[in-house]
Structure 1
C-alpha cells in the first residue's frame, strides 16, 4: 500500500513579502484566510508561542472558548493542506524548522548589507513590503520594522559601492531606496554623494533640489544640515531651486 505523502520530505516555502503564499514541493498551496493569519502570526515570532496567546491576538473580540475553537479549526485546515508548515503541541505553536521564509532570508540579506559583507546584486526582496494588504496591528509593527531595515540596507549598499567606485551598482541601490520612500532624506544624500563622486555636480544639484522640493511640499521642512553640508561647495545659486 503506498505511503501517504504528508509533504514532510518536500521543500516548504512561506512567502510573506508582497503578499501571503505557501509552496510545498514547488506547488502553490491554498489556505483559508483564518489559516493564513495563524501561519503568518506564528512565523513572525522566532520563538514558540502559547496557543492561548495566538487565539487571543487573532480573535480579540471573541470569548476565550470560541477563540480557542477558531484556532483549532484553523490548525486543522493547515494540517490538511500543508502538514509540514506548523508544528503544534497541546501548549505551543511554532513554524516547522524545515520551512523557508522569504522574510527571514531578506532580513539576513539586509543585515549582511549593513555589515558590508554582501557583494551580490540586491535581490528584489529588499524592495517588497511585508503583507501589504493586511492591517492588523501585529502586522503593521513588523512591516515598519522590516521597511526601516531594508531601506537602511539599500542606503548602506549605495554608500559602500560609491566608495568602492562601483557607481552603476551604487546608483541602482540608491534609486531602490528612494523608490521605497521618496521623503527619506538619507536616500537623497546617498545619491548626492554618488553624483559628486562621479564629478556630476549638476546631477548632485538636481538631486538636492528634488529632495528640498519634496520635503517642503509634503512636510513643510527644509533639508537638514547634513544635506546642506554636502552641497555647500556648489554654486549657492544653483541650490536654491
Structure 2
C-alpha cells in the first residue's frame, strides 16, 4: 500500500522504502516520484541545480563553483547562502532526511547526486545504453541483435531535445552547459538512428528502417544526407512518389536555410529515383554527423562543407555548434569548472 508522508514523498508502508525519483530531460521536463509530479521545489533555479547534479553525478561539485554557476554576479556570500537554501529545499522535497540512501550526498564543501539512490534519469539511461552497445563485443559483419535491442531502447528514451523547454537566462554557465549537452545528445541519437536503419535494412525490414529514417530527418532536417537516406528507403520500398516528394522537402529546406540548391549528390539521387535506378544506402558506421549540410564521404568518414554554403548560413543555423566548436567549448567549460580558484 502506497501513502504520502508529510513531505510529499511516496513511501511503501510495508517496507518503508522511498519511491523512485524519475527525472525526464528529453523533451518536456518532468521531475516525479513514481510518475507523480513533485511539488515544493521553490524555483526554476533550484530545478536547474537538481538537473545539473543529476546529469553530472559522476563527480562531486564544490559549493563555490555551484554558487557562481547559478547565481553569477552576486556577492560570494549571497550566492553561497542562496545555494545553502536551495540545497535545504531539495533535501526537504526529496525526503533526504528520512532516506537510508539520500539523493544528495553532502560532504564538507562538496555536493554530489547519489546514483545508488532509487532514481531513474532518462539521459543517463540513454548514455548507458549507447555505451553498452559501443563496448559490446560482437563479430564484425552483419547485425548484432543485442546491439539492436540496446539502440532501440535508447531511441525510445530520446523523446525530444535535451531541456527543450527549460532555461535559466540569467545563468550563462548553465545555458552553455545545456547547449553543449543538447548538441552531444542529438549527435548520439542521430548516430543510433543511422545504426538502426542499417540493421533493419540488412534484415529487409524496410518499414522499420523508414521509421527511424523519418526520425533522423526530423532530428537533423538541415542535413541533406538524412533526406537522401529516407529518399532511398522510400524508393526501395516502392514508394517512388513519396521519395520524389521528400526531395522537394529537402530542396525547400536548403533554399530557406542556406539560400542554395540541394547538393550534387542529392540531385543525382533524385534523378536515379526518377529513372528507376535505386542505389544502396552506405553503412552507417562510416558516417560522421555534420552540423550543417555536410557532404559525407562514406569510405573515409570525412565531412566536406561547401564554403559557399557556410558563408550563407543564417544566424539561426550558426547557433547550432559544430562538433569541433562543441569540443572547444566543453574543454574550456570543464577547465573552468574543475580547477580550484578559477
Q: Distance in 2 between matches of 1:67 and 1:148?
A: 35
How far did residue 76 of structure 1 move?
A: 0.2
Q: 2:48 aligns with which of 37, 40, 60?
A: 37
Task: Note the aligned Cα RMSD (angstroms).
Answer: 2.9
Partner of residue 75, structure 2: 63
Aligned length: 234
Question: How many angstroms does 1:103 deviate by?
Answer: 1.1
By relative contact order (CA 8 Å, sep 6+), the higher-ranking structure is 1
Q: Quote the Cα distance in structure 2 between the aligned partners of 1:108 and 1:229.
A: 39
Unaligned runs of 5+ in 2: 12-16, 97-101, 137-143, 168-174, 276-342
Q: What is the SS of the residue equivalent to 1:233? A: helix
Deviation at 1:167, TM superposition (A): 1.2
After TM superposition, the structure 1 = structure 2 runs for residues 13-28 of structure 1, keeping only pairs within 5 Å, are 13-28=22-37
Find the counterpart in structure 2 of residue 141 from structure 1: 180
Superposed displacement of residue 37, structure 1: 1.6
> 1:128 pairs with 146, 156, 160, which one?
160
Contact 2:155 2:189 in 1 (8 A): no
Structure 1 unmatched ranges of 5 or more: 237-241
2:104 maps to which residue? 86
What is the Cα deviation at residue 100 of structure 1?
Answer: 1.6
Task: Pick from 177, 196, 201 the counterpart of residue 235 of structure 2.
Answer: 196
Q: Deviations over 1:36-70 (max 9, x none)?
A: 12111212323222221111111111111111111
Q: 1:11 to 1:68 in 2, by over 3 A?
A: same
Alpha-carbon separation, structure 1, partners of 2:60 and 2:191: 29
CA distance in 1, matches of 2:37, 2:176: 27
Q: Which has the higher helix share?
A: 1
Question: What corresponds to 1:118 in structure 2?
Answer: 148
Q: Is the 8 A contact 1:201 1:234 kept in 2?
A: yes
Change (3 A) 1:221 1:47: farther
How much does 1:229 deviate? 4.7
Other-structure match for 1:239: none
1:163 Cα deviation after fit? 2.6
Q: For 1:158, which of 193, 197, 202 is the aligned residue?
A: 197
Q: Tell me the residue number matched to 1:170.
A: 209
- TM normalised by structure 2 equals 0.60
Distance 1:111 1:206, change over 3 A: farther
